[in-house]
């Protein structure tokens, strides 16, 4: 049995483990805070479910392992400065940006990037944490400790947000899932739908961009690219060198989930173009208590992460992949009263995409 070590034991690590079972792959998520050491064998592959980690006995041991797949990619993509520099170097479209240097002033950022400027911490941000808006030229200031630690981006007046999850094998062959349409509220992903016929004309552009990036990095495994759709074009928002929340629908909607695809790539098993079933939707469960009634909704596939529930924390998701959009609509109708009222926006948005 092949054993694969995963740096990180959050929900992504757990779902990788789950996906390894049918293939008899022994996936071992490792808690990044652990001060233990682990019995890694020289031939066993190491992968990660996150792009950054603290220095602990566990992470030092895993990161020093010669078979850590994509080890060099993590520092490049974990820092928005090097990530955006890479996107620019490859000539790919992204929101105009610059580094916030020691002597950068808010005025100079507005002059270069426009009225609305979004500061993003270079490292450690997720779910919209680590962001700071400068919206009122002359009034809003750059926080003191953000100099050299942040980039500044032009606000993009996008039509909507989409992402693509792709995979690349050791032989350089790339495959992709169809574009996913995503709803983010206050920086947190709340819902996804894929595939959508009306996005199909953007698929080639998305695949070209992500292929260029994965080839340049000589990347092996699953990578996600978050984009803004502006008219008929995509701008890259950010990249994740791992399985991604916007690809969770593939657990229900494709013959190979993103988790299995990543494992296959990492251990050198065959990759193929995933065969996608019907249009899937995913509802993220954020800061909400578990409700077993969700399981009574036709078609609902619940993943509950078993984490302590805290406001704004991702604690689970529900996938649907029904053969008929009207069945999905009916399922979402049934789900609605079982969720806090704040989910109305998400369910309305999902239903509107299925019309």
User: Should residue 155 be labelled a site residue for ligand ATP when binding is judged by CB under 6 A?
Assistant: yes
Element (H, E) at 11: helix 11-20
Interatomic CA distance for residues 65 and 4, integer angstroms: 12
To the nearest 10°, the Cα dihedral for 34, 40, 44, 50?
A: 10
Q: Are 249 and 180 in contact (CB under 8 A)?
A: yes
156 labeled part of a ligand binding site: yes
Q: What is the footprint of ligand ATP within residues 113-142 (CB under 6 A)?
A: 118, 120, 125-129
Toward ligand ATP, which CB reaches closer, 96 or 325?
96
273 binds ligand ATP (CB under 6 A): no
Sequence-distant (≥ 6) Cβ neighbours of residue 111 within 8 angstroms = none
Q: How far is CA 128 from CA 23, 30, 108, 185, in A?
A: 36, 26, 24, 9
Tell me how far, at minimum, the Cβ of 229 lies from ligand ATP, in Å.
12
Pattern 213-252, ligand ATP, x by CB under 6 A: -------------x----------xx--------------
The residue among 28 and 122 lying less far from ligand ATP, judged by its C-beta, is: 122
3-state SS, residue 163: strand
For residue 334, what are its two tokens?
A: 């049934």
Peptide linkage before 195 cis (omega within 30 of 0): yes
Is 51 an interacting residue with respect to ligand ATP (CB under 6 A)? no
User: CA-CA distance, 61 to 34, in Å (whole number)?
Assistant: 11
153 annotated to bind ligand: yes
Q: Which helix (H) or strand (E) holds 326?
A: helix 325-335
Considering beta carbons, is residue 79 or 226 the nearer one to Mg ion? Answer: 226
User: Which partner from the list ligand ATP, Mg ion, none does 201 bind, CB cut-off 5 to 8 Å by kind?
Assistant: none
Size of the site for Mg ion (CB under 5 A): 2
**How far apart are alpha carbons 113 and 103 in whole angstroms?**
16
Closest distance to ligand ATP from the beta carbon of 244 (Å):
8
Half-sphere exposure of 76 (CA within 13 A, CB side): 17
Q: Does residue 49 touch ligand ATP according to CB under 6 A?
A: no
Round to whole Å and give the CA distance between 5 and 328.
37
Instruction: Pick from 172, 187, 268, 340 the residue near ligand ATP by CB under 6 A.
Output: 187
Half-sphere exposure of 215 (CA within 13 A, CB side): 11
Using CB under 6 A as the binding rule, whether residue 153 contacts ligand ATP is answered as yes
Touching Mg ion, residues 219-278 (CB under 5 A): 226, 238
User: Between 124 and 268, whose beta carbon lies closer to ligand ATP?
Assistant: 124
Q: Is 184 annotated as a binding residue?
A: yes
Residue 222 CB coordination number (10 Å): 31
Nearest residue to Mg ion, by Cβ distance, number only: 226
| Residue ranges that bind Mg ion, judged by CB under 5 A | 226, 238
| Residue ranges that bind ligand ATP, judged by CB under 6 A | 95, 118, 120, 125-129, 153, 155-156, 161, 184, 187, 226, 237-238
Numbered residues of the known binding site: 80, 120, 125-131, 153-156, 161, 184, 237-238
Numbered residues of the known binding site for ATP: 80, 120, 125-131, 153-156, 161, 184, 237-238
């Amino acid at each position: 049995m092949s054993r694969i070590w995963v740096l990180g034991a959050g929900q992504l690590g757990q779902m990788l483990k789950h996906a390894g079972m049918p293939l008899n792959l022994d996936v071992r998520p490792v808690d990044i805070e652990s001060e233990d050491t682990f019995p890694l064998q020289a031939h066993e592959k190491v992968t990660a479910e996150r792009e950054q980690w603290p220095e602990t006995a566990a992470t030092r041991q895993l990161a020093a392992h010669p078979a850590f797949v994509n080890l060099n990619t993590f520092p490049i993509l974990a820092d928005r400065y090097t990530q955006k520099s890479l996107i620019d170097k490859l000539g790919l479209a992204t929101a105009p940006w610059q580094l916030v240097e020691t002597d950068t002033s808010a005025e100079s950022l507005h002059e270069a990037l426009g009225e609305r400027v979004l500061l993003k911490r270079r490292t450690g941000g997720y779910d919209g944490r680590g962001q700071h808006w400068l919206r009122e030229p002359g009034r809003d200031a750059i926080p003191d400790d953000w100099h050299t630690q942040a980039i500044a981006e032009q606000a993009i007046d996008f039509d909507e947000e989409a992402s693509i999850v792709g995979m690349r094998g050791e032989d350089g062959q790339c495959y992709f899932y169809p574009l996913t349409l995503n709803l983010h509220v206050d920086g947190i992903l709340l819902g996804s739908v894929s595939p959508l016929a009306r996005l199909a004309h953007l698929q080639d552009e998305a695949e070209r961009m992500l292929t260029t990036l994965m080839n340049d990095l000589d990347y092996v495994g699953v990578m996600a690219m978050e984009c803004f759709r502006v008219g008929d074009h995509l701008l890259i928002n950010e990249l994740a060198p791992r399985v991604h929340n916007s690809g969770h629908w593939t657990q229900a909607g494709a013959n190979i989930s993103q988790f299995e695809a990543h494992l296959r790539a990492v251990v050198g098993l065959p990759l193929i173009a995933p065969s996608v079933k019907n249009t899937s939707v995913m509802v993220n469960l954020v800061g909400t208590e578990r409700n077993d009634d969700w399981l009574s909704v036709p078609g609902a596939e619940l993943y509950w992460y078993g984490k302590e529930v805290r406001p704004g924390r991702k604690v689970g998701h529900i996938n649907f992949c029904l053969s008929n959009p009207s069945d999905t609509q009916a399922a979402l109708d049934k789900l609605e009263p079982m969720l806090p009222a704040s989910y109305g926006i998400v369910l309305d948005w999902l239903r509107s995409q299925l019309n």
